[in-house]
A and B are shown apart, each in its own frame.
Chain A
């Protein structure tokens, strides 16, 4: 028995050796164009990662998977939602597989962790989901083009809306305690307070927190609204517990776009009705272009489209259209990057999309309200702000003089 096993291990070692060697000598043939996709496919964020992958696959299937006579090959890797693993997997995609473009990523921390590497390797990279502000603001990355959004982008119009249209005056914020949460909440605070409102309390909860019982009793009685920035299981539990602790009748509930995104909305119940959120997408956008995506997508993926799947659907299209524009010559990286930065698409599901000189999209921002339509919950668009830049109405140079939104920036008003 022992002996046989030692042969087995020897064989395994030899096999490892071969793969190592073949990896080392793989010739760089110029035929297919390789797209490297990375996102969490296992672990707590697996489903968002799979939504993303499905969006990309769906687009490639529709498109036919060919550009200028070259086949498109999609190589996907699992990041386990850990930045260090993401970095290792991206190294593999670039150095072993030789991908021509990287696309993917979920967590803000991963976004910052990858930046030095992709800039160092000069790999054209799309961030369709990862939204940390500074990637397109104060720490701009040369090789990253963002087709998604910057975290505070949808919050800027929303702050004004909450004051002027919803008539709220005092708001408590509760959000995941990391860059994404700070930036979504910070952008909201800035415009809400400039409009005349006041953030009376900011509660930060651990990322991924599920039980909100310790936090709900702290919410100030003095406020008329609560702004929550959560996602995944946390969003689901929060909305439910908010009602159970008797707070739903007392406050208007608002949130960042992910709080009621379609990746959790189907699991919610009536407790979610009436929540206002803002994002650059809603599966319920009532346009022909969007329906052309959402209806067949549901058939393809067996579930409703979410902002994550739209992000990669559009991101995939963004990459392919840029490839087409340069005749498939993706080896010319500078030319490819330029094409990625300079194109405009007017007919993507979320609305018209172009990239600013800072590398961030200029796109519509939608204020959405959760409603039940035909028995299903959806994010009904109640107001559209067209062509919003990450700087909103501010002058970019002036805006960039303020620090990036953080836990205590903007500071609490006295």
Chain B
């Protein structure tokens, strides 16, 4: 029982982390239809920047925000100056792959290749104990963060005028231009929001996963799978997909280590084969 409770919490907290990454990817990939293979790089850069900011300020909150904003700027620049010119996938992949390689090497130049670890913020250090269960506070906190982000995104999308503009831009580009929405700017901002979430996730995830060159392509396939299983462009889908992938991944590793990736990706592929639009995708 104890085993199952802890593993479920593990699955949830990993899913929460995936949600931060995948909700942004769902925007970029699912809504804007841009295949961005550098999305994992945003997560990685976020972690590194967060580390540096934390070293200087000692504040985890500032580290999260500063890194996320910086990554958002990178994303906006990439989209505004380059990516927005290409509406088809082949050039997008080649270009974002180019950036992914450059980002990976630049982090190596700037931070060296030593594995780094971001200290868990002081208030969230330690573990709570309920009966025989000991569980790290920080991991529980990550679950709460993800819930807060999910609510925030939902409110932003449904309740704010920028959210309305976003929806209009996605639904009908030309009409959006017609009613005076600055489409290039709005889409670049949207892309930036996706990058923001990934960079934020990179800092939040750093105390759990560590920071290292290579996490970019370790985590990217998982994020893609979440988005596509949940259904592209669907916030609900990203949430459900994240939890699903987080739990299956954790249990697979714990119970059938030899087939752990097999048990993760094959069910995903089959879900997609049966329902290509994912669980909550629009056909």
Residues in chain A within 8 A of chain B (CB atoms): 42-50, 177, 204-206, 208, 210-211, 213-215, 217-218, 232-233, 235-237, 240-241, 244-246, 263-264, 266-269
- Given A210-B210, A211-B209, A237-B210, 12 more A-B residue pairs with CB atoms under 8 Å apart are A46-B213, A205-B257, A213-B14, A214-B7, A214-B254, A217-B2, A217-B7, A232-B212, A237-B209, A244-B127, A245-B127, A245-B134
Enumerate 19 A-B pairs (CB-CB under 8 Å) in ascending A order: A44-B212, A45-B113, A46-B113, A48-B113, A204-B257, A208-B214, A213-B208, A214-B254, A215-B254, A217-B2, A217-B6, A217-B10, A233-B212, A235-B115, A236-B116, A236-B210, A244-B136, A245-B127, A267-B116
Q: Mark B79-102, 1 if CB is under 8 A from A, else 0.
A: 000000000000000000000000
Bound form: Cα–Cα A81–B70 in Å: 30
Contact of A47 among B13, B104, B114, B257 (CB under 8 A): B114
Contact residues, B199-250 vs A (CB, 8 A): 207-215, 249-250
Bound form: Cα–Cα A226–B93 in Å: 45
Bound form: Cα–Cα A380–B280 in Å: 57
Q: Which of A211, A266, A269 has the most CB of B within 10 A?
A: A211
Residues on the B chain within 8 Å of A208, using CB: 214
Contact of A214 among B138, B207, B250 (CB under 8 A): B250
Q: Does B117 contact A (CB under 8 A)?
A: yes
Bound form: Cα–Cα A259–B209 in Å: 17
Contact of B113 among A50, A177, A206, A213 (CB under 8 A): A50
Residues on the A chain within 8 Å of B113, using CB: 44-50
Q: Select from chain B the residue with minimum beta-carbon distance to A238.
A: B210
Q: Select from chain A the residue with minimum beta-carbon distance to B128.
A: A246
Quick check: B253 and A241 within 8 Å, CB to CB? no
Residues on the B chain within 8 Å of A217, using CB: 2-3, 6-7, 10, 254
The smallest beta-carbon distance between A285 and chain B, in angstroms, is: 22
Residues on the A chain within 8 Å of B135, using CB: 245
Quick check: B115 and A213 within 8 Å, CB to CB? no
Q: Select from chain A the residue with minimum beta-carbon distance to B13.
A: A213
Q: Does B157 contact A (CB under 8 A)?
A: no
Quick check: A264 and B115 within 8 Å, CB to CB? yes
Q: Closest 7 interchain pairs by CB?
A: A47-B113, A246-B134, A233-B115, A46-B113, A44-B214, A244-B136, A213-B10
Residues on the B chain within 8 Å of A204, using CB: 257
Q: Does B39 contact A (CB under 8 A)?
A: no
How many residues from B make CB contacts under 8 Å with A? 42
Bound form: Cα–Cα A49–B108 in Å: 12
Q: Select from chain A the residue with minimum beta-carbon distance to B111.
A: A47
Quick check: B250 and A46 within 8 Å, CB to CB? no
Q: Does B129 contact A (CB under 8 A)?
A: yes
Residues on the A chain within 8 Å of B254, using CB: 214-215, 217-218
Contact of B108 among A46, A214, A266, A267 (CB under 8 A): A46
Residues on the B chain within 8 Å of A245, using CB: 127, 134-136
Quick check: B14 and A211 within 8 Å, CB to CB? yes
Residues on the A chain within 8 Å of B209, using CB: 210-211, 237
Quick check: B3 and A267 within 8 Å, CB to CB? no
Q: Does B112 contact A (CB under 8 A)?
A: yes
Bound form: Cα–Cα A233–B6 in Å: 23
Residues on the B chain within 8 Å of A240, using CB: 117, 207
Q: Mark B124-138, 1 if CB is under 8 A from A, else 0.
A: 001101000011101
Residues on the B chain within 8 Å of A50, using CB: 112-113
Residues on the A chain within 8 Å of B249, using CB: 214
Quick check: B129 and A267 within 8 Å, CB to CB? no
**Given A45-B113, A233-B210, A246 and B127 contact (CB-CB distance below 8 Å):** yes
Residues on the B chain within 8 Å of A267, using CB: 114-117
Quick check: A44 and B134 within 8 Å, CB to CB? no
Bound form: Cα–Cα A213–B257 in Å: 14
**Given A50-B113, A245-B135, A264-B115, A214 and B212 contact (CB-CB distance below 8 Å):** no
Quick check: A213 and B250 within 8 Å, CB to CB? yes
Bound form: Cα–Cα A46–B208 in Å: 21
Quick check: B253 and A215 within 8 Å, CB to CB? yes
Q: Does B168 contact A (CB under 8 A)?
A: no
Q: Does B158 contact A (CB under 8 A)?
A: no
Residues on the B chain within 8 Å of A269, using CB: 119
Q: Select from chain A the residue with minimum beta-carbon distance to B119.
A: A269
Residues on the A chain within 8 Å of B105, using CB: 42
Q: Select from chain A the residue with minimum beta-carbon distance to B116.
A: A267
The smallest beta-carbon distance between B19 and chain A, in angstroms, is: 16
Q: Select from chain B the residue with minimum beta-carbon distance to A217.
A: B6
Q: Which of A210, A213, A236 has the most CB of B within 10 A?
A: A213
Bound form: Cα–Cα A368–B180 in Å: 69
Quick check: B112 and A47 within 8 Å, CB to CB? yes
Bound form: Cα–Cα A244–B141 in Å: 14
Quick check: B253 and A214 within 8 Å, CB to CB? yes
Q: Select from chain B the residue with minimum beta-carbon distance to A46.
A: B113
Bound form: Cα–Cα A208–B210 in Å: 12
